[in-house]
Chain A
Amino acid sequence: MAATSSLKSVELRLPATTEQLARLDIGTVVYLTGRVYTAREGVYKRAVEDGVGLPAAPEQLGFANFHCSPAATLNRDGSATVGAVTATASFRFAKWLDGWFKLSRCNVILGKGGMTGEIYRRHFVPNGAVYLTTVGYGTGALLGRGIKRVAGTYWVEELGLAQAIWVLEVENFGPFLVDGDLAGNSLFERENAKIAPNIEKLYAGTKPAILRRYGESDDKTDEVI
């Protein structure tokens, strides 16, 4: 367990019910027990865009999708050695989300850095899903400790080790922070708003660079994602 803190901490058993997810406020610390699986752009493109579908029934994969490639190796006897695991930045995967939720029926997405509140409201809220972000980043060794077993791998041949689906049995797996709740609120956007007034002061009186760039915004409250 992470160091003592004033933050609220919850242990969540997977698969999670909507009632359990409804109790997750943004900024809550979460530890997971149950089944999660990795899937990122390689899987999304193949499953959703190329129309291949899932390599196994959602019940076999679980309902918590981790945007991650583990530092892991497959041994000759078919077993796996998993070292550290950390998430990759989730904002890049927005375009596949709608099809992905329908196909996978996931209600927990784990990743790095969250997605925008707009995406939460458009894709997560209608599908009853929450977004949990890894902490750091990345607490790879702590998360690695939480993995008890590799329950299966899919598409290793097709996508390589990093992009393949790794189904993981986890116990006290974390820490994560709730970024997107069932109502579509975002912790990151709340924090951005708190920081914004100071940023305005920092830039006061400074001049933009002499040579501008296409697409450049001078609005410092903009995000780059």
Chain B
Amino acid sequence: MIPITSLQQTAEALMAKAAIEIPDDYLGGLRACANTEKGDLSAFVIAAMLENYAAAKEDRRAMCGDTGLPRWYVKVGNEAQIEGGPIALEAALRRATANATRQVPLRPNRVHPLWRTDHNNNCGIGAPEIEYSFHPEADWIDLTTVHKGGLFGTDYRMLFPGDGIEGIKRFYLDTLIAFGRRGLACQPAIVGVGLGGSKDISMTLGKQAACLRIVGSRNPDAKIAALEEELKDLGNSIGMGAMGFMGSSMVVDCHIEVGYCHTGGMPMSVHMFCLSSRRASARVFSGGRAELRTDPEWFTDYMRRDTVDWEPARAEAAE
């Protein structure tokens, strides 16, 4: 049994960690950008950001004033038992979000879309979002919080098989350039691309690809992995750096996730996880012990299975 108090305490710790500490994998990626950036304005911006991360950690204050839209990703082990069940878990995540908003503090970003009602706690109808996935033969729960900005750097388009890889590259460039100007996307970013799925899942896959994979990770499909490298280099060849100034620092990494789609279509989404790529994860075990980490480990062989039944041996052979 996983005690509900452990889940709430862990969730509160994750909220603060995500808001304050830039993940090591993103930091490493940005330092690599800093080493190659030749544009003086873009280089100045990156240097200021590196200084900002240090200040945030030192002062224990949020790294960015726009603390994004806090949300949750929950991976539930098949044998996990939650004290109070899933309803108690959702209440714990909402309480943790509200408490952290006051304690860190975070900006109370969440409002009603029409009436602009603000509860000053980042909670409301459908907020924070909670998405679920499952894992075979496990009795733990993984909690991940992501604090992603909510306004710029994302687009969706229905492409068709006839658009081909060239069409994918073109829409990718369109999105990066449109939102890269003036740095609306707060690049250099981790760019997530969702390909396929139904329209909503295309958006979901791209967002998860940006937010739930670490810099340097590659899709297990070798050809998709090669496309990830190609798109990363393409983004950095635009001539645009941080804040849209002349430079080469646009894409810290590019991650692609795919889902099976309608035979006539090739829906695509692009998402940019910004200079404040905020995420934090923990595994909470039966009994309540928690281990914090920065890799969400969201995309697993189980998540990417393409067979009717779960056949772990086949997934291993494919690696």
A binds B: yes
A interface residues, Cβ below 8 angstroms from B: 2-3, 5-7, 27, 29, 42, 68-73, 81, 83-89, 113-114, 133, 135-145, 160-163, 175, 177, 187-188, 191-192, 194-195, 198-199, 202-203, 206-211, 213, 220, 223-225
Which B residue's beta carbon lies closest to that of A192?
A: B181
- 25 of the cross-chain contacts (CB-CB < 8 Å) are A2-B51, A7-B41, A42-B116, A69-B66, A71-B65, A71-B67, A87-B65, A136-B243, A136-B275, A138-B66, A139-B49, A140-B65, A144-B62, A144-B65, A160-B116, A163-B116, A188-B244, A195-B238, A198-B239, A202-B237, A206-B166, A209-B157, A210-B167, A223-B181, A223-B182
Q: Closest 7 interchain pairs by CB?
A: A86-B65, A160-B118, A3-B47, A141-B56, A84-B62, A140-B65, A113-B182
* B167/A135 in contact, CB under 8 A: no
Please name 19 further chain A to chain B contacts, defined as beta carbons within 8 Å, in addition to the given A113-B243, A206-B166, A206-B170, sorted by A numbering: A3-B47, A5-B40, A7-B41, A72-B107, A84-B64, A86-B64, A86-B66, A89-B184, A113-B183, A135-B44, A138-B275, A141-B56, A160-B118, A160-B120, A199-B239, A202-B237, A207-B167, A211-B159, A224-B178
Chain B: minimal CB distance from A191 (Å): 5
Contacting A140 at CB < 8 Å: which of B43, B50, B52?
Answer: B52
Given A2-B51, A84-B64, A209-B167, the answer on whether A162 and B109 have CB atoms closer than 8 Å is yes
Which A residue's beta carbon lies closest to that of B167?
A: A209
Chain B: minimal CB distance from A213 (Å): 8
* B44/A84 in contact, CB under 8 A: no
Cβ–Cβ < 8 Å partners of A160 in chain B: 108, 111, 116-118, 120
Chain B: minimal CB distance from A177 (Å): 7
Cβ–Cβ < 8 Å partners of B240 in chain A: 195
Interface flag for B32 (CB, 8 Å)? no
Give the docked Cα–Cα distance between A139 and B162 (Å): 43
B 71-113 to A, binary, CB cutoff 8 A, 1 in contact else 0: 0000000000000000000000000000001101111110100
Give the docked Cα–Cα distance between A198 and B109 (Å): 37
Cβ–Cβ < 8 Å partners of A163 in chain B: 116, 118
Contacts across chains A and B counted by CB atoms under 8 Å: 215
Cβ–Cβ < 8 Å partners of A177 in chain B: 41, 243
Chain B: residues with Cβ within 8 Å of the partner, total of 69
Cβ–Cβ < 8 Å partners of B186 in chain A: 136-138
Give the docked Cα–Cα distance between A69 and B66 (Å): 8
Cβ–Cβ < 8 Å partners of A2 in chain B: 44, 47-48, 51
Give the docked Cα–Cα distance between A203 and B116 (Å): 41
Cβ–Cβ < 8 Å partners of A213 in chain B: 157
Cβ–Cβ < 8 Å partners of A6 in chain B: 40
Contacting A161 at CB < 8 Å: which of B63, B64, B108, B181?
Answer: B108
Contacting B62 at CB < 8 Å: which of A42, A71, A133, A199?
Answer: A71
* B246/A191 in contact, CB under 8 A: yes
Cβ–Cβ < 8 Å partners of B167 in chain A: 207, 209-210
Interface flag for B249 (CB, 8 Å)? no
Cβ–Cβ < 8 Å partners of B232 in chain A: none
Give the docked Cα–Cα distance between A68 and B65 (Å): 8
Chain A: minimal CB distance from B283 (Å): 28
* B52/A3 in contact, CB under 8 A: no
* A135/B45 in contact, CB under 8 A: yes
Chain B: minimal CB distance from A120 (Å): 14
Chain B: minimal CB distance from A134 (Å): 9
Interface flag for B294 (CB, 8 Å)? no
Give the docked Cα–Cα distance between A224 and B120 (Å): 31
Chain A: minimal CB distance from B59 (Å): 6
Contacting B52 at CB < 8 Å: which of A69, A136, A225?
Answer: A136
Given A81-B105, A210-B163, the answer on whether A136 and B49 have CB atoms closer than 8 Å is yes
Cβ–Cβ < 8 Å partners of A203 in chain B: 170, 173
Give the docked Cα–Cα distance between A133 and B45 (Å): 12
Interface flag for B303 (CB, 8 Å)? no
* B166/A85 in contact, CB under 8 A: no
Cβ–Cβ < 8 Å partners of A191 in chain B: 41, 244-246
Cβ–Cβ < 8 Å partners of A73 in chain B: 101-102, 105
Cβ–Cβ < 8 Å partners of A89 in chain B: 151-152, 182, 184
Chain A: minimal CB distance from B261 (Å): 15
* B182/A140 in contact, CB under 8 A: no
Chain B: minimal CB distance from A68 (Å): 6
Cβ–Cβ < 8 Å partners of B106 in chain A: 71, 83
Cβ–Cβ < 8 Å partners of B239 in chain A: 194-195, 198-199
* A137/B118 in contact, CB under 8 A: no
Give the docked Cα–Cα distance between A141 and B167 (Å): 40
